[in-house]
C-alpha cells in the first residue's frame, strides 16, 4: 500500500505533469517523422538504392540494343466524294472517336500482321524466327533441306504475325490525324522495312475493304433493280387495264416534271371547267340585259335611247326647228305659212323619234331573251357535266390507287438505277482516306536500352525499396529512441529527458558542475515533479527501471541533489540490496544501511551518512542479504519511510530494476509514487510495458518516465535542436 505522506485532509489527486518537452508524435509534422526514419536508416536505404542502381547498370549493359523505325500516316475522317452516292458505307455514321479507335484497331489487327509477314516472306524465313527467339521443336519448325515444311505454314504465319504485333507500336499524335507506326527489332534496317510495309499494307487493305463494299453494293442493287422493274411493269399493266374497263381518259398535264404521269388532267374536268367559265359569263350577260330592259321601261327615257346616235340626231334637228318656230311666233300668228311648215316638220320628227325609240326598246327585249336562253342552255350542260364528273371521280378512286402505286414503283426504280450508275463510277475511282506522310528511315541509334533512364528508374526503385525496408525496420524496432515515444508507446507522461554524458565522466562530477547539461536536465525533471501532485513534489518516491544500467541510480542521486539544493531536507536510500551503488556514486565507503534496519536495527543515525558536497543525507544498502525480497515483505520498510519522513522533507529510494525481481514492486507499493527510468535506444518497449504492468499490479503509482542517455544529435524530429540548445545554452559564455 502507498504511504500517506500528505497533510491531513488533502486528497490524493494527481495534477497533470508539465513535461520538459510537451511535443508528442501527433504534434510532429509527418514530413519530419519520415525524415527522422530516413536519417536513422540512411545506410540501409543507401545500400539498397546502390544495389538497385548496380543491378540496373548490369541488366542494361547485358540487354540487346533495339532499334525503332517510325512511319507516319494520315488517316482522314472521310475520303473526298467523287460521286454523290450514299449507299456504300463511307464511315460517316459514327462519331470521330469511334472512327479513329476503329482505325487504330485495324492497324493492330492480326490479319494485317499476318499479311505483312507473308508479303515480306517471314513465314518461311528461319532467320526471322531466330531473330525473335521463336525457334521451337514443333514439326512446323523442323528444317527439311534448309526449308520449313509447307504443312506448318499456317501455324508459322500465325506465330510470325504475333511476333510482329508484339514489337509494334501505334501512337496517334495528339489533336491531329497523324499516326506513328513504330516497329522495334535488334536490326535497324529490318525495323524500317517492317514499318514501311505495315503502312503500305494498311493503305492497301483499306482500299480493298472499300472495293469489296462497292462490289457487294453493286450486286445487291442489281437484284433490287430487277425486282423493282417487275413491280413497276405489273403496276402499270394493272393501271391501264382498269382505265380501259372504266373508260377513264386522262391526259398528261402540261409541264409535268420528268415526263411522268403523276399529274394528269381528266377530259370531263377540263370540259366542266371551261363550260362553267362560259356559264359565268352568260349569267353576267343576262344580268346586264335584264338591267337594260328594266331601264328602258319609259319610252324615250331609256339609257339605250339616250345613247342611240340616230335618235340624238333627230332630237337635235327637232330642237333647232322648235327654236325657229318660237322665233316666228314672236312676229307672226300660228297660221303663218312659214310657221305651219316648221310645225309640220316638227311633227314629222316626233313621229320618227317615236318609231326609233320603239325599235331600240324591241332590240333590248330581244337581247334579254337571247341571254336568258343561252344561260339556261349552258346551265343544263354544266349540270350534265357535273354528274358525269362525279361519276368519273367515283370510278377514279381505285384508278388513283393504281396510279400512286405506279408512281411509287417508278420513283424507287429511278432511285435504284441512279445509285447503280453512281456505284459503278465509285468502284472504279479508288479514292483512299489513308496516306503516308513520312516513310520510316533506318534508325542511326538504338531506341533501347536507355542507360540514363534505366539508372534513374533503378535509383527510384531502390529508394522506394529502401524506404519500405526502413519503415519495416522502424516498425520492428521496439527500442524507445525519442521522447515522443514515451507517451505513444508506454502511455505515461514524460517527466524529462537526460542527455548521455561522455564516457569516463562520473555523474557525481557532472552534478557538482552547476552549468552541466546533466544538472539542467534533472532540474527540469525536479520542476515537473512539482506538478504530479497537488502538494507539489512527492515526499516519498522511488526510482526504478526495467533492467540494470539504465540510469536509475544516477537519476535518484541527481533528484536528491536537486531537492537538497532547493532547500529541502532530503535523504537518498539505496534500495538495491543486490547491487548497491549509492555509496559508490557518492564517493563514500559505508557498510551499514537499509538491510540492517530491515533486519531489526532501529538506530537510524548509525545507518545514514552525509553527502556534504551534494547537500543531502544518504542511507546505503548495507550488507547484501541472502534474500532481499524476504526483508522487504514485512512492515519494516514502511516503518522506515514513516520515521524518515518525520526528519526529512523528501525520501528518495534508489529501487532495484523490475524485471525478474520482486524487490521493486514491494518498494513501489510503500512509497507515494514511482519515477520510471527508460534508456534511450537501450531497451524494447514491450519489456518496459511488462515491467510497468508488474508495478501497476502491486498498486504502485507511477508519476512518469525519465528518458535517460538521450543523444540529441541522433534525433531528427525536432528534439535535437531543442535539447542541444537547452543543454548547451550559456556553457560557452561560462567557459569564456
Same domain, 654 and 554: yes
DSSP string, 30-53: HHHHHHHHHHHTHHHHHHHHHHHH
In a domain, 380, yes or no: yes
Same domain, 303 and 359: yes
Cell 526495467 belongs to residue: 546
Q: Which of 566, 535, 515, 547 is nearest to 661 (CA)?
A: 547
**What pTM was estimated for this model as a whole?**
0.49
- Residue 491 C-alpha cell reads as 502511455
Spell out the residues 6+ positions from residue 191 whose beta carbon is closer than 8 angstroms to its own: 67, 68, 69, 183, 184, 185, 440, 442, 443
Write a three-state SS string for 677-725: EEECCCCEHHHHHHHHHHHHHCCCCEEEEEEEEECHHHCCCCHHHHHHH
Answer whether 21's CB lies under 8 Å from 722's CB.
yes
Single residue among 335, 369, 399 that ends a domain in this structure: 399
φ, ψ (nearest 5 deg) of residue 109? -75, 150
Quote the cell numbers at residue 33.
517523422
C-alpha cell at 575: 534500495
Asked if 519 contacts 525 with a C-beta cutoff of 8 angstroms, the reply is no
Q: Whose grid coordinates read 496517334?
A: 172
Residue 539 contacts residue 651 (beta carbons within 8 Å): yes
Answer whether 131's CB lies under 8 Å from 185's CB: yes
For 652, the enclosing helix (H) or strand (E) is strand 650-654
User: Is residue 496 domain-shared with residue 590, that is, in the same domain?
Assistant: yes
Instruction: Name, in order, each residue with C-beta under 8 angstroms of 532's C-beta and a sequence gap of 6 or more.
Output: 14, 15, 17, 495, 538, 673, 703, 704
Residue 193 falls inside a structural domain? no
CA-CA distance, 228 to 418, in Å (whole number)?
13
Q: Are strands 494-499 and 168-172 parallel, antiparallel or unpaired?
A: unpaired
Residue 325 near residue 319, CB atoms below 8 Å: no
Residues 41, 474: Cα–Cα separation, whole Å? 8
The CATH number that applies at residue 493 is 3.40.50.300
Grid cell at residue 78: 472521310
599 and 529 together in one domain: yes
Domain count, the chain: 3
Q: Give whole-number Cα distances, 627 to 271, 622, 633, in Å.
A: 149, 13, 11
545, 461: one domain: no
- Total Cβ atoms within 10 A of residue 323: 10
What grid cell was written down for 441?
528511315
Verify that 369 and 307 share a domain, yes or no: yes
Which of 615, 504, 600 has the alpha carbon at shortest distance from 559?
615
First to last CA, the chain: 52
Contacts of 418 (CB under 8 A, 6+ apart): none
pLDDT along the chain (736 residues), means of 10: 38 38 56 81 91 92 88 77 46 66 90 90 84 75 72 85 91 89 90 92 85 70 80 82 73 51 61 75 74 59 60 72 75 73 75 67 70 77 72 73 83 79 60 84 87 91 92 79 81 89 78 86 91 90 92 92 93 91 71 89 90 89 88 91 94 91 91 93 85 91 92 56 49 42
Q: Which residue has the cell 416534271?
A: 257
Q: Are 305 and 313 in contact (CB under 8 A)?
A: no
C-alpha cell at 223: 437484284
Residue 255, C-beta contacts closer than 8 angstroms, at least 6 positions apart: none
The DSSP annotation for 54-97 comes to HHHHHHHHHSPPBEEEEEEEEE-SS---SS---SS--S-SS-HH
Around Cβ 72, how many Cβ atoms within 10 Å?
Answer: 18
Q: Assign 610 to helix, strand or coil.
A: strand
Asked if residue 258 belongs to a domain, the reply is: no
Instruction: Please state, in angstroms and rounded to a whole number, the distance separating the CA atoms of residues 236 and 407.
Output: 9
The answer to whether position 226 is within a domain reads no
Q: Domain end: 399, 420, 442, which one?
A: 399
Residue closest to 526 by CA, chosen among 513, 536, 535: 536
Radius of gyration of the CA atoms of the chain, in A:
65
CB 544 within 8 A of CB 655: yes
**Which position has the grid cell 382505265?**
243
Here the cell at position 218 is 453493286
Q: Which three cell numbers stand for residue 4?
A: 500517506
d(C-alpha 430, C-alpha 630), whole Å: 112
Task: Say which residue the cell 543523444 belongs to.
Answer: 711
Q: Looking at residue 298, what is its pLDDT?
A: 47
Q: What is the helix (H) or strand (E) element at residue 264, kind and residue range?
A: strand 264-266
Cis peptide before 60 (omega within 30 of 0): no
Q: Around Cβ 721, how many Cβ atoms within 10 Å?
A: 11
Residue 672, C-beta contacts closer than 8 angstroms, at least 6 positions apart: 2, 3, 5, 533, 538, 539, 540, 541, 701
The DSSP string of 458-499 is HHHHHHHHHHHHHHHHHHH--B--STHHIIIII---EEEEEE
Residues 549 and 582 in one domain: yes
Neighbour tally for 416: CB within 10 Å = 20
Tell me if 308 is assigned to some domain: yes
CA dist., res. 525 & res. 528, Å (int)? 5
Q: Measured between alpha carbons, how far is 581 from 585 in angstroms, rounded to an integer?
A: 6
In a domain? residue 491: yes
CB 659, CB 546: distance < 8 Å:
yes
Q: Do 370 and 459 fall within a single domain?
A: no
Residues 548 and 563 in one domain: yes
Compute the residue count for the chain. 736
Residues 462, 487: one domain? no
Calpha distance 650→642 (Å, rounded): 11
Distance (Å, rounded) from C-alpha 599 to C-alpha 607?
12
Give the domain extent around 382.
276-399
For 132, the 3-state DSSP assignment is coil
- State the CB neighbour count (10 A cutoff) for residue 351: 10
The CA distance from 608 to 643, in Å, is 13
Question: Would 621 be classed as within a structural domain?
Answer: yes
Identify which of 512, 514, 513, 480 has the alpha carbon closest to the alpha carbon of residue 497. Answer: 480
Is residue 534 included in any domain, yes or no?
Answer: yes
Q: Are 549 and 683 part of one and the same domain? A: yes
Strand partners, 67: 185
φ and ψ of 181, to 5 deg: -105, 110
Q: What is the pLDDT of residue 725?
A: 45
Who contacts 711 (Cβ-Cβ below 8 Å, separation ≥6)? 499, 500, 680, 681
H/E segment holding residue 226: helix 188-246
Residues 596 and 688 in one domain: yes
Amino acid at each position: 500500500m502507498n504511504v500517506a505522506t500528505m497533510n491531513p485532509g488533502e486528497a490524493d489527486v494527481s495534477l497533470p505533469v508539465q513535461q520538459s518537452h510537451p511535443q508528442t508524435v501527433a504534434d510532429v509534422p509527418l514530413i519530419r517523422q519520415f525524415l527522422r526514419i530516413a536519417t536513422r536508416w540512411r545506410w540501409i536505404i543507401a545500400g539498397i538504392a546502390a544495389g538497385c542502381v548496380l543491378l540496373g547498370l548490369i541488366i542494361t549493359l547485358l540487354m540487346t540494343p533495339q532499334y525503332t523505325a517510325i512511319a507516319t500516316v494520315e488517316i482522314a475522317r472521310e475520303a473526298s466524294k467523287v460521286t454523290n452516292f450514299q449507299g456504300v458505307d463511307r464511315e460517316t455514321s459514327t462519331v470521330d472517336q469511334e472512327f479513329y479507335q476503329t482505325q487504330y484497331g485495324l492497324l493492330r489487327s492480326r490479319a494485317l500482321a499476318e499479311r505483312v509477314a507473308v508479303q515480306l516472306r517471314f513465314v518461311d524465313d528461319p532467320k526471322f524466327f531466330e531473330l525473335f527467339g521463336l525457334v521451337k521443336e514443333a514439326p512446323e519448325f523442323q528444317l527439311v533441306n534448309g526449308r520449313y515444311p509447307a504443312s506448318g505454314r499456317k501455324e508459322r504465319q500465325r506465330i510470325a504475325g504475333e511476333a510482329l504485333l508484339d514489337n509494334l507500336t501505334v501512337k496517334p499524335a495528339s489533336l491531329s490525324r497523324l499516326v506513328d507506326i513504330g516497329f522495334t527489332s535488334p536490326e535497324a534496317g529490318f525495323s524500317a522495312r517492317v514499318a514501311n510495309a505495315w503502312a503500305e499494307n494498311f493503305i492497301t487493305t483499306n482500299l480493298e475493304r472499300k472495293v469489296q463494299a462497292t462490289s457487294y453494293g453493286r450486286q445487291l442493287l442489281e437484284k433490287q433493280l430487277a425486282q423493282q422493274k417487275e413491280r413497276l411493269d405489273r403496276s402499270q399493266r394493272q393501271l391501264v387495264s382498269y382505265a380501259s374497263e372504266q373508260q377513264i381518259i386522262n391526259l398528261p398535264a402540261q409541264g409535268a416534271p420528268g415526263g411522268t404521269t403523276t399529274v394528269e388532267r381528266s377530259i370531263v374536268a377540263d370540259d366542266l371547267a371551261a363550260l362553267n367559265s362560259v356559264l359565268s359569263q352568260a349569267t353576267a350577260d343576262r344580268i346586264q340585259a335584264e338591267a337594260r330592259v328594266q331601264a328602258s321601261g319609259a319610252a324615250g327615257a331609256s339609257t339605250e335611247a339616250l345613247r342611240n346616235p340616230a335618235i340624238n340626231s333627230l332630237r337635235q334637228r327637232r330642237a333647232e326647228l322648235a327654236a325657229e318656230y318660237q322665233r316666228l311666233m314672236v312676229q307672226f300668228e300660228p297660221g303663218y305659212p312659214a310657221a305651219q311648215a316648221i310645225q309640220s316638220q316638227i311633227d314629222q320628227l316626233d313621229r320618227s323619234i317615236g318609231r326609233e325609240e320603239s325599235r331600240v326598246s324591241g332590240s333590248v327585249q330581244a337581247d334579254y331573251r337571247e341571254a336568258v336562253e343561252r344561260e339556261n342552255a349552258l346551265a343544263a350542260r354544266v349540270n350534265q357535266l357535273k354528274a358525269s364528273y362525279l361519276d368519273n371521280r367515283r370510278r377514279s378512286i381505285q384508278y388513283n390507287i393504281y396510279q400512286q402505286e405506279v408512281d411509287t414503283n417508278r420513283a424507287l426504280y429511278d432511285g435504284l438505277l441512279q445509285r447503280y450508275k453512281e456505284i459503278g463510277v465509285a468502284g472504279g475511282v479508288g479514292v483512299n482516306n489513308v496516306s503516308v506522310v513520312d516513310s520510316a528511315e533506318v534508325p542511326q541509334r538504338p531506341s533501347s536500352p536507355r542507360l540514363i533512364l534505366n539508372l534513374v528508374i533503378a535509383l527510384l526503385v531502390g529508394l522506394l525499396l529502401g524506404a519500405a525496408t526502413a519503415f519495416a525496420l522502424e516498425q520492428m524496432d521496439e527500442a524507445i529512441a525519442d521522447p515522443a515515444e514515451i507517451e505513444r508507446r508506454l502511455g505515461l507522461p514524460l517527466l524529462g529527458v537526460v542527455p548521455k554524458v561522455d564516457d569516463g565522466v562520473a555523474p557525481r562530477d557532472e552534478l557538482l558542475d552547476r552549468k552541466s547539461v546533466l544538472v539542467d536536465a534533472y532540474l527540469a525533471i525536479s520542476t515537473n515533479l512539482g506538478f504530479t501532485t497537488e502538494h507539489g513534489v512527492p515526499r516519498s518516491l522511488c526510482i526504478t527501471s526495467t533492467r540494470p544500467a539504465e540510469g536509475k541510480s544516477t537519476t535518484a542521486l541527481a533528484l536528491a541533489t536537486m531537492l537538497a539544493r532547493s532547500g529541502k531536507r532530503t535523504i537518498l536510500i539505496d534500495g538495491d540490496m543486490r547491487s548497491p551503488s549509492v555509496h559508490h556514486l557518492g564517493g563514500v565507503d559505508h557498510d551499514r544501511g537499509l538491510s540492517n534496519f530491515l533486519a531489526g536495527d532501529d538506530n537510524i543515525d548509525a545507518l545514514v551518512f552525509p553527502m556534504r558536497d551534494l547537500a543531502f543525507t544518504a542511507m546505503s544498502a548495507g550488507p547484501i542479504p541472502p534474500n532481499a525480497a524476504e526483508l522487504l515483505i514485512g512492515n519494516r520498510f514502511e516503518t522506515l519511510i514513516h520515521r524518515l519522513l518525520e526528519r526529512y522533507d523528501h525520501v528518495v529510494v534508489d529501487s532495484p530494476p523490475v524485471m525478474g525481481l520482486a524487490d521493486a514492486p514491494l518498494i513501489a507499493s510503500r512509497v507515494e509514487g514511482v519515477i520510471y527510468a527508460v534508456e534511450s535506444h537501450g531497451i524494447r518497449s514491450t519489456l518496459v510495458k511488462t515491467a510497468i504492468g508488474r508495478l501497476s499490479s502491486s498498486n504502485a503509482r507511477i508519476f512518469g518516465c525519465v528518458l535517460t542517455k538521450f543523444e540529441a544529435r541522433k534525433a531528427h524530429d525536432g528534439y535535437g535542436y531543442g535539447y542541444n540548445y537547452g543543454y548547451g545554452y550559456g556553457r560557452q559564455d561560462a567557459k569564456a
